[in-house]
Amino acid sequence: MSQVRAIVIAGFVTLLGAPFAASAERIFCESRDYHRNYCPTGGNIASARLVVQQSQAACIQGRTWGYDSNGIWVTQGCSGEFDYRWNRPPPMPGPGPGRQVECDSQNYQQQFCPAGRRVSRAWLVEQRSQAPCINGQTWGFQGNGIWVNQGCSAVFAFEGR
């Protein structure tokens, strides 16, 4: 019986140490001057968690931060980086060219990387920089490509027409 209990405890500890989700994305959100701020994620998210608190003010889920299906909100001075998981994960890019683009912010300058078609949705596949790649802050998409700045370097997948 004690072996079964040890296996159950080991499995639980493994789950606690597991990453939040393979498809989790990260966003920075801050309450400036203790005002409420809403940070849209651009999709239908299922869950979120505070990863790195960057404020001295308390970040307490349900009181000074929370989320709904479209984004994360903060108030009363809470600021930090949040992981969120899609309710429906973005589709994996299919094989072949044109579904992924690598984009590098060299010398922390903004860079636009053409995708060859109009981008309707994009997501980070592989971050290659030590500088954070935060959707809507250090990377995003517009028109027919992906933009990066502040040192973000990554491979992005996208859907488009």
State pLDDT tens for residues 52-65.
Answer: 999 999 999 999 99
User: Would the pLDDT of 97 be above 80?
Assistant: no
pTM (predicted TM-score) = 0.46
- The pair of structure tokens assigned to 140 is 């995003």
User: What are the pLDDT digits (tens) for 104-116?
Assistant: 999 999 999 988 8
